[in-house]
Chains A and B, each alone.
Chain A
Amino acid sequence: MKLLRDTSLIFNRQMQLLLRNPIWIFVGVFQPVMYLLLFAPLLKPALQVRTNAEAYEIFVPGLLVLLAIFGGLFQGFGLIAELRAGVIERSRVTPVSRVALLLGRSLRDVVSLIAQAIIITLLALVFDLRVFVPNLLLAYLMLALISLMTSAVSYGVALVVKSEDALAPLMNTVAQPVLLLSGILLPLTYAPGWLQGIADWNPFSWAVNGTRALFRGDLGAPDVWQGLLIMAVLAVVAVAWAAREFARSVR
């Protein structure tokens, strides 16, 4: 009960601040929109598919997962600013739940990600992408779990390193291989065997496959529940770890 109450307090506060500057939602969506407009048209010939719709079915899910990963991983910067302003310390001397301090923030990130995902999806509709609404909602659940996890990780790391200078290269170093090994831009079906072997160990590759299956309309594919399950477990682990960092005494 207390956790719910505290989480909603922090979440509402964070949403209020986000909506005061909603421009950031659009700034965040700018890069994926560029991919959608300037990169995706290359895909129909490259993937040797018959229609644009088919190319977008493959590309848009990957793009959304990319957005969820990167959007989440860079949320830590905001937290470092809050640390510097003393806001976090002020919260930590109150009896507020430490999990709520994290969860309220991460849920705001999830909401802002879903808003961005909707913008991308709507744009993709213009390019003949078609997807069933129930499948789309499940795909959004996948995205929500991814962004919950990556933003929690980012907050946890931010609490440990406490400086933007350390956070930026660290997050980039993590994100690059994760990105390349998840078949986000091009499906890994074209990859040589050894590369596929490595990619199987990348949880995000499972998430991408699951999301693609959903966009394909293949709700029954094992990729769907496997991806959702892996993301859910990782999200729980990440939230637990980051909440512990909020609780831990830091100098």
Chain B
Amino acid sequence: MIETRGLRKSFASRQGREKKKVEAVRGVDLDVAEGEIFGFLGPNGAGKTTTLRMLATLIEPDDGTATIAGADLRSDPGEVRRRIGYVAQGGSTWDDSTAREELVLQARLYGASKSDALARAARVLEGFQLSEYADRKCKTYSGGQRRRVDIALGIIHEPKVVFLDEPTTGLDPQSRAHMWDEIRRLRAEGMTVFITTHYLDEADALCDRISIMDNGEIVASGTPAGLKREISGDVVRVGLPVDAIPAAVQALSSYKIETYDDHVRLNVEDGAVAIPQILRALDAAGVPLGTVELHRPSLDDVFLTKTGRSLRES
């Protein structure tokens, strides 16, 4: 649905008297399949938004190619516009307009007739549970409501692909969960959803596949589970009385094991499978058990491995 090769963009920036060229995006290759939620994960300033704006025809790439929903970005941006929806990070509604007015206008800008635009607006308002507020001015909406209007505006023309730039940034946890449901609903309706995020948990919970971007480049791509599996297996931490540790080490000699003062750590491929076996082995050896914890690697561990620093720090 989206295929890019070697997409590049640099900006001229001025620092004092010196003019500097900032390479925001340095050769991005992406392959997004139809009907998936694709996540673009990375810290602020990684080049996610610049890439997205190139794909949405808002800025022209310096180099590279891209095909979006069958249309060529470089030679036919007009056709790309007809086939995609784009929801910017900063919002897109006018304070003194109502959601319905904005939606009707947006549908008409995509070529819908007046009656068709009204019908479409009513349909998406219903879908996003906004009917109740549809005729109130946008400035009276809550952050979550306004964000839903933004998304409704982005999909009013039923695009094949919709780009959402940080759709949940600034929302409270409840609105965020609500937004995730909305995004899954778009996928269920057959849309390909391309989102950017700097939230690890969001990429993990919501996306079918992700690419991790750092410093203008893609450093890793795959499913969240696959990426985590790639870097390391799970860690099982077993808490024990101090004097039971030697016996435990002996009983678990077939595992890769590290010992600490009051616990041992075992590196296993799949923790859910390993825990019953570990417990059985300890029980058979008569070792008294304290606690058992399973630590699965997070996307932050993936980020750390690929870039040498934690996403939370950057």
Contact = CB atoms under 8 A, between A and B. Distances in A.
Interface stretch (B55-63, B166-174, B226-234): B55-63
Interface residues of A, number: 23
Interface residues of B, number: 29
Contacts of B106: 90, 94
Interface string A72-85: 00000000001011
A249 interface: yes
B255 interface: no
B62 to A, nearest CB: 11
B169 to A, nearest CB: 14
Interface in A2-39: 6, 9, 13, 16-17, 20-21
A85 B93 contact: yes
Interface string B42-76: 00000000000000111110000000000000000
Given A9-B105, A9-B109, A249-B59, A93 B86 contact: yes
A53 to B, nearest CB: 43
Interface in A52-101: 82, 84-87, 89-96
B80 to A, nearest CB: 9
Contacts of B85: 93
Interface in A237-251: 249-251
Given A17-B94, A17-B97, A91 B109 contact: yes
Contact of A85 (B78, B82, B95, B108): B95
B60 A249 contact: yes
A86 B93 contact: yes
B181 to A, nearest CB: 24
B205 to A, nearest CB: 27
Contacts of A17: 94, 96-97
Contacts of A92: 58
Interface in B141-181: 153
Given A249-B58, A249-B60, A90 B92 contact: yes
Contacts of A93: 56-58, 81, 84-86
Interface centre among A20, A93, A251 (most CB of B within 10 A): A93
B297 interface: no
Nearest to B50: A251
Given A93-B56, A94-B81, A85 B94 contact: yes
A6 B81 CA distance: 15
Contacts of A82: 94
B108 A9 contact: yes
A6 B105 CA distance: 10
A94 B93 contact: no
Given A6-B109, A17-B97, A85 B11 contact: no
Contact of B109 (A16, A84, A85, A96): A96
A17 B102 CA distance: 12
Nearest to A90: B92
Interface of B: 11, 56-60, 78, 81-82, 84-86, 88, 90-97, 101, 105-106, 108-111, 153
In the A-B complex, the 3 residue pairs with the smallest Cβ-Cβ separation, listed nearest first, are A86-B92, A90-B92, A94-B109
Given A85-B95, A251-B11, 12 more contacts: A20-B96, A85-B91, A85-B93, A87-B92, A89-B88, A90-B92, A93-B57, A94-B106, A95-B78, A95-B82, A250-B59, A251-B59
29 contacts: A6-B109, A9-B108, A17-B94, A17-B97, A21-B96, A82-B94, A84-B90, A85-B91, A85-B92, A85-B93, A85-B94, A85-B95, A86-B92, A87-B93, A89-B58, A89-B88, A90-B153, A93-B56, A93-B84, A94-B106, A94-B109, A95-B78, A95-B82, A95-B109, A95-B110, A95-B111, A249-B58, A250-B59, A251-B11
